[in-house]
A = this chain, B = another copy of it.
Amino acid sequence: MTEQLLGRSARKRQTILSAGRALFLSNGYQGTSVDQIAATAEVSKQTVYKHFGDKHELLLAIVNNALESTVTVFLERITALGDTTDLEADLRALAGDYLRAVLQEPVVQLRRLVVAEANRVPALAQLYYEQAPARMLTAFAECFGRLHDRSLLYVPEPALAAEHFAFLIVGRCIDQALFYGGPQVLAGIDVDGYIRAGVRVFLAGYRPRADAGGR
């Protein structure tokens, strides 16, 4: 009985999160009411408040939930890249998937929503940045540190190299997508050629120089 209740409660929670996410992404934070979310989730307004406190807390939970599923997959892949036996090919494969992931329209809309509320809800902006870009950059830094130890890269400042890699790959596209949307930006590039060029510049900057004896 208790287990059944918990299961129902968890499902309701998930239904509210999905409804809230869809509404916030289409109508923005200001343009969405708890009444609408409750109606879409087919629960009472009291149930929304019981689960999430208030609209602000609900938005934080939605962002957390949305990022958890998209970011975690990449964190594992970035860690695995530290053990690569074909660095250039694996960098390219990861970079291509990373670029396509950040240009998915729900991801772009979530960024827009958080940026739009950054003045009013700085805690949301901080949560987003810590949960998404900062975690990705930290994972890349650890991976590049490991590749440095394996002498596959020369990376005296892993955090900086992580930024260089990330923004060589997704920088212009993620920026442009904030203005034009992800699908339009993705349609405008040849992903393979784009990734190849970004990885080439990164490796030019960070490959150990054979002739410098590790510098």
Chain A residues in contact with chain B, CB under 8 A?
A: 28, 30, 109, 112, 114-116, 118-119, 125-126, 128-129, 133, 137, 157, 160, 163-164, 166-168, 171-172, 174-176, 178-181, 194, 197-198, 200-202, 204-206
> What is the chain B residue whose CB lies nearest that of A160?
B197
Secondary structure at chain A's binding surface: helix, strand, loop or mixed? helix
Contact of A180 (CB < 8 Å), options: B30, B126, B137, B194: B126
Q: How far is the CA of A171 from the CA of B202 in the complex (A)?
A: 14
Copies in the complex: 2
**CB-CB < 8 A to A198: which residues of B?**
164
> What is the chain B residue whose CB lies nearest that of A198?
B164
Q: How far is the CA of A112 from the CA of B200 in the complex (A)?
A: 32
Contact check, B179 vs A125: say whether CB atoms are below 8 A apart. yes
Contact of A167 (CB < 8 Å), options: B128, B168, B204, B206: B168
**CB-CB < 8 A to A118: which residues of B?**
112, 178-179, 181
Given known contacts A201-B201, A201-B206, is B133 in contact with A178 (CB within 8 Å)? Answer: no
